[in-house]
Structure 1
Amino acid sequence: MPEVSKMKKPDVKLVLLGDMNVGKTSLLHRYTERKFKDTISTVGGAFFLKQWGPYNISIWDTAGREQFHGLGSMYCRGAAAVILTYDVTNWQSLAELEERFLSLTDTANHNCIYALVGNKADLTDPKAQLPQDSDPSKDQTECGVERTDTQVLSACPTPPASPASLSGITLQKQVTPEDAMALYGRILRYKGLDEKSSLPAEKMCFETSAKTGYNVDDLFEALFDLVLPSILRNRNESQQSPTVDLEECRGAGNKRAKSGCC
């Protein structure tokens, strides 16, 4: 695993938010490593650096546990997109997005894009139980692990696959697409955005399965396309406002001081 200091500078940031056990990290592993992993609950947060064409996108994975709730707003700072994740078999996980996590996005960019993602669709939808074709030729993601004090923030925040998922049992869906789209409308109103001029709910609400890969690629690729204007804007601003090399400035100042000395 590469050290954070050696990683490329990201052009834009995406953040996953949601309650514990909804499968946030499993979604990332499915997309970046093309496989499903049994994982454990996170401590704090971690990020993955994805190279998408000529651009570098950091995807921040956050903890859903109550004790780490305050860190969420820090991770959302400057985010171009936020993926609000819930479990389609757990109504409370959708309610938690509005009650606990939405306010954390106040530190995101003013033009931040919001997507609602219902994970574990394979537990309720037969068509999501079919394994999706994996493409091993896809670029692998570099994974960075953030540290706070002496505690490592795990890059694997989600729980193991549930017995129902492993046995092929179909569970009752508690959250419908209509429920998710209704919440998306409330998110836009909370942000003071005009629903008519914003991205439509049909395009920003997804159902996925990290276990089978159902809709996972579609989710991330769609968001990468949507944040492209932010990437181009950031690069343009960087070119117009180049950074100043402080070491060069200090060297030039020393030279002037020596030349003026008797």
Structure 2
Amino acid sequence: MASGGRTQADLKVIILGDHSVGKTSFIQRYLSGSFVTTQSTLGASLVMKKWSTYHVAIWDTAGEERFAAISNFYTRGAHAAILAYDVTNRESFDKLSSTFAKFLEDAHPDCLCVVVGMKSDLLTGSDPAVPTSDARDLAVNLNLNKANSNKTKSPSPAFFTTSAKTGENVENVFALIQTILISEFIPSSSRSQSDVPTSRSIRLDSTRTAPEKKSCC
């Protein structure tokens, strides 16, 4: 655990995805509880968050191709990665596999990958551009063959549909990450029961409550 003087991160979380999918607004909703429209991130930006007694570094990365090398650098040693796409834009989802997944090669061997569909408020009853089954499958595939796959990760796909504008599922994404990362990466002798969220159950594979032709859970 970080202590005294200069703050040192105990855990590292990174968010990856194409430009304009809403990564920065998503993080700001989590940090401030409000919706803030922002300009695209240039390079990468860092915010620190306290989870109980632990310091967590949350890195927001640019999605433009010209910043690809920077994104690759900042994934190094990451304990969790949020792979974000716009639920109304199929291309932004396809780029998670074709462009951003390769950046995870330098992440921690047990890096938790959470696939997050953003801007669900734009659907207004219409079907998403990406079928839920495709997003679920990507979440499963990204988390296969982890060095410690027999530990605390749930077998359910780590997938959420979210909205920074309404706040839908934003807290749930980070509650899941907090629970798994503290359980896996913080020695049991160093943590207490209060370190892990317990006030409500954390639901994986969480999508909009609006009906779809096929239910995901």
Judge same fold: TM > 0.5, yes or no: yes
- Percent identity reads 34
User: How far has the Cα of 1:233 moved from its partner?
Assistant: 3.7
Of 188, 201, 204, 2:158 maps to 204
Residue 147 (structure 1) aligns with = none
**Structure 1 unaligned residues grouped into runs of 5+:** 1-5, 125-168, 237-262
Residue 176 (structure 1) aligns with = 131
Residue 84 (structure 1) aligns with = 83
User: Higher helix fraction: Structure 1 or Structure 2?
Assistant: 1
Q: Which has the higher contact order (CA 8 A, sep 6+)?
A: 1
Whole-angstrom distance in 1 between the partners of 2:15 and 2:60: 5
- Contact 1:18/1:84 (<8 A) preserved: yes
User: How far has the Cα of 1:106 moved from its partner?
Assistant: 0.4
Segment drifting more, 201-210 vs 49-58: 201-210
- Contact 1:88/1:120 (<8 A) preserved: yes
Indicate yes or no: 2:169 matched with 1:227. no
User: How far has the Cα of 1:220 moved from its partner?
Assistant: 0.6
Runs of at least 4 residues of structure 1 off by over 3 A?
169-172, 191-203, 233-236
User: How far has the Cα of 1:231 moved from its partner?
Assistant: 4.1
CA offset digits 1:84-122 (Å, max 9, x no partner): 001111111110000000000000001111100001111
Segment drifting more, 6-15 vs 56-65: 6-15
Segment drifting more, 224-233 vs 92-101: 224-233
Q: How many residues align?
A: 186
TM-score (structure 2 length as normaliser): 0.78
**Structure 2 unaligned residues grouped into runs of 5+:** 191-217
Whole-angstrom distance in 1 between the partners of 2:188 and 2:15: 21
Residue 151 (structure 1) aligns with = none
Q: Which amino acid in structure 2 is aligned with residue 110 of structure 1?
A: P
- Contact 2:140/2:158 (<8 A) preserved: no
Whole-angstrom distance in 2 between the partners of 1:109 and 1:11: 13
- Contact 2:152/2:183 (<8 A) preserved: no
Q: Which amino acid in structure 2 is aligned with residue 217 of structure 1?
A: E
Residue 29 (structure 2) aligns with = 30
User: How far has the Cα of 1:229 moved from its partner?
Assistant: 3.0
